[in-house]
Amino acid sequence: MPGSGEQPDLVSPPTARNPGTHAAERQGDPNRPTRHSTERHPDQQTFRRSGSGSFRKTPADPITTEDFANLPTRILSLTRETRTINSVTVGGGIEVVPRRAITVGMKECLSARRMRFYCNRPWQSAVIRRVLHGPITGACPASLLRRHPDATITVTDYVAAVPDIRLR
């Protein structure tokens, strides 16, 4: 509150998470579904993604597309490659990038009533082409949105432009 020395609560009560809804609180049961989308916000079951949504972390071992589509939210170790790529966003310091992360499973993503993807980075041009024109596969997780009954992709003009593929 202004003047009281206290920091205001920036999370409004309707959107504050309940205990047990966070993947890390599911006490080791990867099959226990998150309650967030179905119990907390039944009218807002939309999966929104911007940035690097190609975008879900794929398993290192070969897996069928169906098995990939059924993967739940889980905690995983990030590869050095993933940490290196993400270090660009923190000034190149790989030591700042966590070694473990929570990834939202495709099972939860695909169970949303609506899926909305917003792409505004030049590098997403190639990914969007794979999503729309390549095979539906766990190797390109966002390609699974083609199976969803209410999925849309919104892209900027430069993401939609034909890429200029050449050595520079």
pLDDT digits (tens, 9 = 90+) for 107-160: 999 999 999 999 998 889 989 999 999 999 999 999 999 999 999 999 999 999
Domain spans of the chain? 46-160
pLDDT digits (tens, 9 = 90+) for 41-92: 333 334 434 334 433 455 566 789 999 999 999 999 999 999 998 898 888 8
- What mean pLDDT value characterizes the chain? 74
> How far apart are alpha carbons 140 and 55 in whole angstroms?
7
- To which residue do tokens 């849309």 refer? 152
Is the pLDDT score of 26 beyond 70?
no
Q: Would you say 108 and 146 are in contact if contact means Cβ atoms under 8 Å apart?
A: no
Architecture field, domain 46-160 = 3-Layer(aba) Sandwich (3.40)
Q: Would you say 20 and 26 are in contact if contact means Cβ atoms under 8 Å apart?
A: yes
Between these two residues, 113 and 9, which has the higher pLDDT value? 113
